[in-house]
A and B are shown apart, each in its own frame.
Chain A
Amino acid sequence: MWITLVIIHGLLAFLLLGAITHQVVSVWAPVRAGARNFVARFRAVGSVNYVNAVIVLYLATASLGSLLYTNYRITARLTLEQGHYWKSFGAFELKEHLIAIGLAVLPAYWCFWRPSLDAGDARTRRMLTTLLAFIIWWAFLAGHIANNIRGLGT
């Protein structure tokens, strides 16, 4: 059961990573004219369309992760400690705190992406999106590395 949950957790995280990456690229480097190549089309997405998806995916991925965390605590974490993988261990420890702080930011993130807000809120919107992107990328990579060290079902 844990392996199935880890795979679902990974897939949800992958979707989340795609959504937030599209959004953060589009807020820092929006395309003004028609998008002609792959990179330009990647930047040209309608950022506001991703907000609800990012929030739902974040909550779903974090909820599943918090369930998996109980198993990690009594299995994979011991492997990391006993193998002296201290950097990976520290990266995973930081990941859990980043995820917790990401939860704090979600209401403001939703709020500052509302179309009714004026242009003066653009910086707050951009910084909140960038912060969430950093959290999601760190969490994805740290989880992936820990999973690679421990392996599935070992």
Chain B
Amino acid sequence: MRTRGRFPVFAVSFAAVYAAVYYFALDNNWALFSYGPAVGEWTLFNHAASAGPTMYWYGWIATSAIAGAGAGLIVCLLPGNLGGRLWSGLAWLVPVCSIAAIAHLLSGYFKR
């Protein structure tokens, strides 16, 4: 099934790129910003908080959302009907693969 219309093209591209980038952001800690909940400290990129734990989750989401939105816009603006050739199944298949890869990353917790 091909994707018709600009918003469906954007939505499919966004889902696929966001989900793929999220996995790599998690694996390589590409956080756009970090947060130290114990001290209420926000820092740009993946810097550890001055005290207590550091949270990168918000930063990974931001990184992935920007990448997904950028890719979605680019695919929408492709000349001709290139975006329309996008398979709509990518919207669920790439997130499923990303989830499987993340589950593999975290599998150590379930084997202890």
Set of chain B residues within 8 Å of A128, measured between Cβ atoms = 91-92
Whether A97 is near chain B, meaning CB under 8 Å from some CB there, is yes
Contact A90 B106, beta carbon cutoff 8 Å: yes
Set of chain A residues within 8 Å of B61, measured between Cβ atoms = 100, 103
Q: Which of B55, B61, B91, B107 has the most CB of A within 10 A?
A: B91
Which of A1-9, A18-26, A34-42, A67-75 contacts its partner?
A67-75
Q: How large is the interface on B (under 10, 10 to 19, 20 to 34, 35 or more residues)?
A: 35 or more
From the candidates A97, A107, A110, A123, name the one contacting B102 in the complex (CB within 8 A). A97
Complex alpha-carbon distance, A53 and B41, angstroms: 34
Q: How large is the interface on A (under 10, 10 to 19, 20 to 34, 35 or more residues)?
A: 35 or more
Q: A75 to nearest B CB, angstroms?
A: 10
Whether A104 is near chain B, meaning CB under 8 Å from some CB there, is yes
Chain B contact surface mostly: helix
Set of chain A residues within 8 Å of B108, measured between Cβ atoms = 90
Complex alpha-carbon distance, A54 and B93, angstroms: 21
Set of chain A residues within 8 Å of B106, measured between Cβ atoms = 90, 93-94, 97
Q: Which residue of chain B has its CB nearest to the CB of A124? A: B88
Contact B8 A74, beta carbon cutoff 8 Å: no
Whether B84 is near chain A, meaning CB under 8 Å from some CB there, is no
Binding site for A on B (CB under 8 A): 1, 7-8, 10-12, 14-15, 18-19, 22, 26, 35, 37-38, 52-53, 55, 57-58, 60-61, 64-65, 68, 88-89, 91-92, 95-96, 98-99, 102-103, 106-110, 112
